[in-house]
Amino acid sequence: MNGAPDAEKGEFMADTVPGTVGLHAGASQTPPARKRLALILLMAIGSINYVDRQLLSLLIEPIRQDIPLSDTAFGLLTGLCFAIFYATMGVPVAMLADRINRVRLVAVACTVWSVCTGLCGMAQNFWQLALARFGVGIGEAGGTAPSLSILSDYFTPQQRPAIIGLYTVNGPIGVFIGISLGGFIASQFGWRMAFYSVAFLGVALAPVLWLLVREPVRGATEQAPAPQAGAPAPSLVSTMKIFMTLPTLRLLLPASGLMAFVSYGLLNWIPAYLMREVDMQLSELSLWFGPAAGICMGLGIWSGGAIVNAGAKRSLTAYALAPAASILVGIPFLLLALFMPDWPSALALMLIPMICIVMYVAPALALTQNLAPLRARATATALLLLSFNLVGIGGGPLMIGIISDMFTALGFEHSLRWALMSTIPVSLVALTLYVLMARTITQDHAPTQPDMAA
């Protein structure tokens, strides 16, 4: 097949664009073990991505003892300082992924963000931490979008919601490892050693991906020969027009961005809330909150994909109605949790919101993969992640930090509690957008994926 030898050699700049005739025959011969290996290693790399991203949020209170910083400063460090580089680099890196060997790109990116995570442990002030976070953001821009593009060429459209749901469980796994392992290491050896330890994991795993995972043939899993496979990758402007012309994607961008705002904001500040407001110790946080957050987020992300996978067989509106329903379920439990007087009851009630606030992820990513042109999947995913990151990571943690400092300056007690409650109106706006999106999904799928509900 045209282009296959380059994929076998694993040349970094190779672009495996085969002829359309032999494309699907070759895809059908891909050994299942190779697909599973790719999924497992990309999940592992993605988990390291989230460990490095989450660790700073866990260590806010210990770091504050060495480097006195306000909640606004930590909101910048956990949010905007990371997101601005992660988001701006995400689109050009994804465009690169649509043109070169994606496996090698992910391996290089993992090395970059891991080294920069280690540099966080050497920081002595705000600006050194900020520069290290810039580097983490630049490196992690080469993780998710290329990985999803790789998996889309290993698994069929019908398998993608569940596979992407399974892949995105790397977030909860990363949170679990980051909080449990990072919290244990920080409590025993200090917060700096926690950064050094997780950096080592990424540096060690990147060459394993490079050596063991093969670049898949682009378009290999489409159900009919895809004429787009041999065509040049669309320009950035052309890909952006897809989000403007398709009503479903036009609504998906702000809806997902607002849910990311809520989820990243809450998940970045809940550890500090439990330690500051209800007297949870760092050792207790690593023992109880780490597993709870990991399991709940994993269940939420996986179930979001699984529910849509099942529901879409009857109606494609499941892509919108499942995230909408999760918002309605999560809000009452969040309110109750924030008024509990002790950490065991607060944490117990937070389990439901921690499941619900991430159920939007897999449906959004799968919907983008399904509606985007074959040669623009990584770029389209990066544009969706741009919404996730600028609005979500950049805005959520920062807004909560600013509101917390504002309430503190006004003399309010439990300022962080009121700041966390400010995410509820944002959730309700996202709910409205999902309801509107349910009206457009079926029509938007008709010309591109007529068999998605089969």
More confident residue, 26 or 240: 240
Whole-Å CA distances, 156 to 223, 230, 294, 344, 451: 7, 19, 28, 43, 12
Indicate whether 169 pLDDT > 80.
no
- The model's confidence at residue 227, banded by pLDDT at 50, 70 and 90, is very low
Report the alpha-carbon distance of residue 116 to residue 212 in Å, rounded: 25
Indicate whether 231 pLDDT > 70.
no
Out of 1.20.1250.20, 3.30.2350.10, 1.10.730.10, 2.60.120.620, the CATH code matching 5-9+27-220+235-445 is: 1.20.1250.20
- The model's confidence at residue 150, banded by pLDDT at 50, 70 and 90, is confident
Indicate whether 424 pLDDT > 90.
yes
More confident residue, 11 or 420: 420
The mean of the pLDDT values for the chain is: 80
Say if residues 216 and 150 touch (Cβ distance below 8 Å).
yes
> In this predicted model, what pLDDT tens digit does every residue of 312-355 receive, in sequence order?
778 888 888 999 999 999 999 999 999 999 999 999 999 999 99
> In this predicted model, what pLDDT tens digit does every residue of 247-260 receive, in sequence order?
888 888 889 889 99
User: Which pLDDT score, from 0 to 100, does residue 338 have?
Assistant: 94
- The model's confidence at residue 450, banded by pLDDT at 50, 70 and 90, is very low
User: Which pLDDT score, from 0 to 100, does residue 99 have?
Assistant: 82
Terminal Cα-to-Cα distance of the chain (whole angstroms): 30
Say if residues 384 and 256 touch (Cβ distance below 8 Å).
yes
User: Which pLDDT score, from 0 to 100, does residue 193 have?
Assistant: 93
> In this predicted model, what pLDDT tens digit does every residue of 351-388 receive, in sequence order?
999 999 989 988 888 888 777 766 666 677 777 777 77
User: Which pLDDT score, from 0 to 100, does residue 17 have?
Assistant: 35
Most confident of 3-7, 75-79, 122-126, 391-395: 122-126
Place of tokens 């402007």: 237
Backbone angles phi, psi at 283, to 5 degrees: -65, -40
Report the alpha-carbon distance of residue 367 to residue 437 in Å, rounded: 12
Average confidence (pLDDT) over 8-34: 47
Residue of 318, 316, 320, 263 whose CA lies nearest to 434: 320
Average confidence (pLDDT) over 107-123: 91
- The model's confidence at residue 13, banded by pLDDT at 50, 70 and 90, is very low
Indicate whether 111 pLDDT > 50.
yes
Helices (H) and strands (E) in the chain, counts: 25, 0
User: Which pLDDT score, from 0 to 100, does residue 355 have?
Assistant: 93
Indicate whether 39 pLDDT > 50.
yes
**Percentage of residues in the chain having pLDDT higher than 70:** 84
- The model's confidence at residue 102, banded by pLDDT at 50, 70 and 90, is confident
User: Which pLDDT score, from 0 to 100, does residue 21 have?
Assistant: 37
